[in-house]
Amino acid sequence: MPGETHNGMQCNEFEGLLFDALDGLLTGAKQDRFQAHARVCAKCGPMLAEIEAGQHWLKSLVEVEPPAHLVNDVLAATSGIPSYRLEEIATSAHKPSFGERLREWSDSVLAPFWSTVRQPRFAMSFGMAFFSLSVALSVAGVKPNDLKQADLSRSGLRRTYYTTSARVVKYYENIRLVYEIESKVQELRKVTRPAGRKEEKERERNHKNNTSGEPEPRQERNYIRDENQPALASVPENPPAVSVTTIRRLV
Amino acid sequence: MEDAQIVNGLVRRCIAGDAVAWEEIVQRYNRRIYNICYRFAGSPDDAQDLTQEVFIKMYRTLSSYDVERGAFMTWITTMTRNLLVDHFRKTKQDRVTDSIDAPPSEHEDSMPLSDQIPDKGPAPDTKVQSRETGAVVHEALQKLSPELREAVILRDLQDMDYREIAAVLRVPEGTVKSRINRGRAELARLLQRIYRQVM
């Protein structure tokens, strides 16, 4: 009961001193009276024991370690800036050199290729391909030394360009000269054609007066159409679609 | 320079937009907030989510912190506690009330609440043998009512004094002391029952 007195201390007073006692602040005669009341009081004694036990259990709980990524998650969710400390630690721990990075890159890129090439069947195929290529190049007259001597400098490339374009222009001029000569020849032919027609008419007249009964000498038909006679052709109403493909050859 | 002055300086720099100061605050307080959340919510996943929520809210409302009104630690603990209570209300977890051994009401049967709650887990002896003591105590802590749980967590696990706890919980110091004592006694009774069943 709250009003009960044991060893000169009431239960109300006991409850008032309870926190000081639990926090270790109670000393001297007060503590003795407190302990004596707890020993004899049927209510306060068990209550103190339970509270002390609960406090003991709670103190046994150790602090738990938060997840390692928690700080980064929080920073990402708030400021959006990654942890500068973690970055510093990561960069100062190991900074790979350019050579190491290059080696890493080449390993990652070439490793799958080399693992395939090392297989016997592929190695044989690559060997045969190399042999065929070298034979073809030697037959074509290509020598590796010529390729080595090729001038790939800026001025060399410019010189090659101008030489090549001059060669193309010269070739074009030659072709034009040939066509001009051809057209002149054709014009000359046209000029000489009327004289030939008169001879033809005389031969025809002779044929009509021929009564000898001998077989007629074979006449060569002139299939050359006169340019002044237009060629007429009948076109069907629905002409079939014809596709024409022109192949241009680049010289 | 005192700790409070350092923290106030960090807060000022953070409000001014200093990301390094904000990270310093996160580094300083993430462990404490995570532990409060873990002991209150019970699971590491919930604790992680709640800790993030606390920091997000803190980041948004940092400018409202008034140095004159109280310590920064009290401010963030109050914020954490309020979020935990909101989380508890949302999840609607059924907890044992502070009178775990008393009948809940006159209309119900006289069996104590601790006996009414069915234990769906393995047998007590298996449970105790397979887990460490800390895990058993942590589990028993989850069976306390939120009012008692938050009081004992702040006092016995976070070592806050009664005045600070009263400020965080917004209740008189006497109420705080009463809740702490009831929480400790309740926990002891629960654990005694578990160990008695094992023995």
What's the confidence (pLDDT) of residue B106?
Answer: 41
pLDDT at B107 over 60: no
Q: Taking an 8 Å Cβ-Cβ cutoff, which residues of chain B contact chain A?
A: 19-20, 22-23, 26-27, 30-31, 34-35, 38-39, 44, 48, 51-52, 55-56, 59, 133-134, 137-138, 140-141, 152, 156-157, 162, 177, 181, 183-189, 191-192
Which sequence spans correspond to the domains of chain A?
Answer: 5-60, 63-95, 103-142, 151-205
Architecture of domain B3-91 in this structure = Orthogonal Bundle (1.10)
Set of chain B residues whose Cβ sits within 8 Å of the Cβ of A66: 30-31, 34-35, 48, 51
Per the confidence metrics, is the pTM higher than 0.90? no
Confidence of residue B142 (pLDDT cuts 50, 70, 90): very high
Query: Residue A39: in which H helix or E strand, if any?
Result: helix A28-40
Set of chain A residues whose Cβ sits within 8 Å of the Cβ of B56: 74, 77-78
Characterize A165-193 residue by residue with b for buried, 16 or more Cβ atoms within 10 angstroms of its Cβ, and e for exposed.
eeeeeeeeeeeeeeeeeeeeeeeeeeeee
Please check whether residue A70 touches B, CB under 8 A. yes
Q: How far apart are CA A5 and CA B50, in angstroms?
A: 49
Which sequence spans correspond to the domains of chain B?
Answer: 3-91, 113-198
Tell me which of A7-21, A107-121, B51-65, B76-90 is least confident. A107-121
Q: Classify residue A237 by its DSSP letter.
A: S
Cross-chain CB nearest to B56 (options A47, A77, A83) = A77
Nearest CA in chain B to A20: B177
| Fold match, B3-91 / B113-198 | no
- Is residue B80 within 8 Å of residue B102, measured between CB atoms? no
Please check whether residue A89 touches B, CB under 8 A. no
Burial of A45 (0-12, 13-18, 19+ CB in 10 A): middle
Cβ neighbours of A203 (radius 10 Å): 11
pLDDT at B113 over 50: no
Cross-chain CB nearest to B26 (options A18, A47, A74) = A74
Q: How far apart are CA B78 and CA B68, in angstroms?
A: 16
The angle that helices B44-61 and B72-91 make with each other, rounded to 10 degrees, is: 130
Task: Please report the sign of the dihedral spanned by the C-alpha atoms of residue A110, residue A113, residue A119, residue A121.
Answer: negative
**Among residues A72, A5, A75, which one has the least CA distance to residue A36?**
A5
pLDDT (tens, 9 = 90+) of chain A, 251 residues, equals 445 565 667 888 888 888 888 888 888 888 888 888 888 888 889 999 999 999 999 988 989 999 989 998 899 888 777 666 656 655 665 566 777 778 877 777 777 777 776 777 777 888 889 999 988 888 777 777 766 666 678 888 888 889 889 999 999 999 999 999 999 999 998 888 765 566 666 666 666 656 555 555 555 555 555 555 555 555 555 555 555 555 555 44
Could you tell me which CATH class the domain B113-198 is placed in?
mainly alpha
Q: Which of residues 101-140 of A touch B (CB under 8 A)?
A: none
A36-94: pLDDT as tens digits: 888 888 888 999 999 999 999 998 898 999 998 999 889 988 877 766 665 665 566 55
